[in-house]
Amino acid sequence: QVQLVQSGAEMKKPGASVKVSCKSSGYTFNSYTMHWVRQVPGQTLEWMGWLNGGTGNTKYSQKYQDRVTITQDTSASTAYMELSRLRSDDTAVYYCGRGYSAFDPKIDLWGQGTLVTVSS
């Protein structure tokens, strides 16, 4: 079955880091890019960055590039998104999504989302 399964909800304190995993199955992991998109409750989608599964190259949104790191473990067909120096306004649902091209947000397969709550 072709799917992306993300890790469970997280509760973090301000200043901490969070690492969300995204395990793929049913397709060749390193033939695609993996996007990370977040959604603050009630707001629009916001792109954070992507990772090229074949090369391991990454591209980050300027807004997050000093706080986000996207990595992969190809042996486990899993991508990771780590966000550091968390603030309360980082409370959001974080999604991973399978993409095809570095410069085209055609994301045809999405994870179920991971709620990250940042609160003291």
Partner 1 sequence: QSVVTQPPSASGTFGQRVTISCSGSRSNIGRNFVNWYQQLPGTAPKLLIHGNNQRPAGVPDRFSGSKSGTSASLAISGLRSEDEAEYYCAVWDDSLSGRVVFGGGTTVSVL
Where on the chain is the footprint of partner 1 (CB under 8 A)? Answer: 35, 37, 44-47, 50, 59, 61-62, 95, 97, 103-108, 110-113
In the numeric block, which tokens belong to residue 60?
Answer: 């980050």
Minimum CB distance to partner 1, residue 41 (Å)? 11
Q: How far is the CB of 30 from partner 1 (least distance, A)?
A: 21
What residues pair up with 11 in beta bridges, in sequence order?
Answer: 117
Backbone angles phi, psi at 90, to 5 degrees: -90, 0
Instruction: Pick between residue 5 and residue 11 the one whose CB is nearest to partner 1.
Output: 5
**44 or 75: whose CB is closer to partner 1?**
44
Closest distance to partner 1 from the beta carbon of 90 (Å): 18
- Between 13 and 68, name the residue whose CB sits nearer to partner 1: 68
Measure the CA–CA gap between 50 and 41, rounded to whole angstroms.
22
- Smallest gap from residue 75 Cβ to partner 1 (A): 26
Please identify, using beta-carbon distances, which residue of 10 and 46 lies nearer to partner 1.
46
Q: Map tokens 């980050």 to a residue.
A: 60
DSSP string, 3-23: EEEEPPPEEE-TT--EEEEEE
Question: Rounded distance, CA 58 to CA 45, Å?
Answer: 20
